[in-house]
Structure 1
Amino acid sequence: MLPVTVKADRVTLHELTRASAADLQDGGSGGWRWAPGGPDEGSRFAAAKMLSGMDAGRHRAGWGAYVMVRTEDGRAIGGIGFHGPPEDGRVEVGYDLAESVRGRGYATEALRALSAWALAQPDVQTVYATTDEDNTASQRVLTRAGYHRIGDTPRPIGGRESQHLYELSTP
């Protein structure tokens, strides 16, 4: 099966292949030309998690990690994707951006596009995300993308703080 591609106005989201995920995990570029400051550690972690799911037979096409590529110059600017396939109609999303491109609306645009793709799939009714209490930039991205804060999750084991929980659901 071919990797999924999701187009938005200024970015295109390309699902990682096994080879690109392995290269990112190992400290490489994943085969992409990155904007300064990329790839972020979140993208590398997502690539490793996707490979782990592939190796364990849990990965489903479309439900892994993607690279965000800026249309104007073809540079990778960040990562976005799912923490695994949907369960009980719900799927978790996460994202990160290269520091040099933050604050320009790219994450919001990518999140809207990937969330719309997910909600168009027959087994998904809700896309959700969590943010640390002090990550106000990510909270603004979620709100601008149409997500609603529905509460907090318990403090993670060893974590400093609880996390805010946001959701976007089908109408």
Structure 2
Amino acid sequence: MVALIETERLRLRPLTAEQAGSVVAGERAGQPWSAGYPRGDDQDVARMALAHPAAEPWFGPLQIVARDSELVVGGIGFFGPPDEHGVVEFGYGVVPAVEGRGYATEALRGLLRYAFATGRVRRAIADTAHENVGSQRVMEKAGMRLTHSDDRLRHYETTEPVGRGTARHRRPA
């Protein structure tokens, strides 16, 4: 069994090479996937993970698993370990069937709490398109602040984990 980050309603677990292969191929048979998973973005992330495996699984792609159903409902993760300044960049997404339930916000809060608890992360950053209001709300609810905008994107950051709930990182026995 793989170690996880747990929140009230979710489990975040590293995407294994085997799972990434299934995601890329869209092989649904026998997979604990919710309707709508994998999305195109999930397949892109899985392709990148296969081409460039994460040296540190917790700073790579993770699957978002709903604890009540044990189904994968999306993905979240960092684009690599912290740089020399302690900066990490991340991305996330959930399937349309669970949008609006707070899963993306809960997953992001759990991921950020984990990252800052390592002592290696000093700042987390992300960006989103101007028209992606849902993603902007997720980041704001997770305690991130808008730092600037350009002609294409809105840029966010946080220098501390904030938000409600708890997140635990555990290694199963």
TM-score higher than 0.5 here?
yes
SS at match of 1:104: coil
SS at match of 1:9: coil
Instruction: Name the residue aligned to 1:169.
Output: 159
1:65 aligns with 2:64: no
- Between the aligned partners of 1:79 and 1:49, the Cα distance in structure 2 is 13
- Give the root-mean-square deviation of aligned CA atoms: 1.9
1:90 aligns with 2:87: yes
Instruction: Name the residue aligned to 1:158.
Output: none
- Between the aligned partners of 2:93 and 2:79, the Cα distance in structure 1 is 13
Matches within 5 A, 1:140-159: 140-152=137-149, 154=150
Offset of 1:21 from its aligned partner? 1.4
For normalisation by structure 1, the TM-score amounts to 0.86
Offset of 1:128 from its aligned partner? 1.1
User: CA distance change for structure 1 residues 168 and 30 in 2, over 3 Å: closer, same or farther?
Assistant: farther
Given residue 165 of structure 1, which amino acid in structure 2 is its aligned partner? H
Matches within 5 A, 1:129-140: 129-140=126-137
SS at match of 1:62: helix
Q: Pick one of 68, 75, 88 that aligns with 1:79.
A: 75
Contact residue 26 and residue 38 of structure 2 kept, 8 A: no
- Between the aligned partners of 1:115 and 1:128, the Cα distance in structure 2 is 10
Contact residue 35 and residue 101 of structure 1 kept, 8 A: no
SS at match of 1:92: strand
Q: Pick one of 100, 110, 128 that aligns with 1:113.
A: 110
- Between the aligned partners of 2:61 and 2:28, the Cα distance in structure 1 is 14
Query: Number of paired residues?
Result: 160
Offset of 1:29 from its aligned partner? 4.3
Contact residue 79 and residue 95 of structure 1 kept, 8 A: yes
Superposition misfits of 4+ residues, deviation over 4 angstroms: none
1:19 aligns with 2:18: yes
Cα deviation code 1:12-61 (max 9, x no counterpart):
0111111111221222349642222122111111112222222xxx6322
Q: Give ranges in structure 2 of 5+ residues lacking alignment.
A: 162-173
Q: Give ranges in structure 1 of 5+ residues lacking alignment.
A: 155-160
Q: Pick one of 73, 96, 101 that aligns with 1:99.
A: 96
User: CA distance change for structure 1 residues 37 and 59 in 2, over 3 Å: closer, same or farther?
Assistant: same
Contact residue 24 and residue 30 of structure 1 kept, 8 A: no
- Between the aligned partners of 1:82 and 1:29, the Cα distance in structure 2 is 25
> Which range is displaced more, 61-70 or 20-29?
20-29
Instruction: Name the residue aligned to 1:36.
Output: 35
Contact residue 22 and residue 30 of structure 1 kept, 8 A: no
- Between the aligned partners of 2:30 and 2:64, the Cα distance in structure 1 is 13
What percent of counterpart residues are identical? 34
SS at match of 1:165: strand
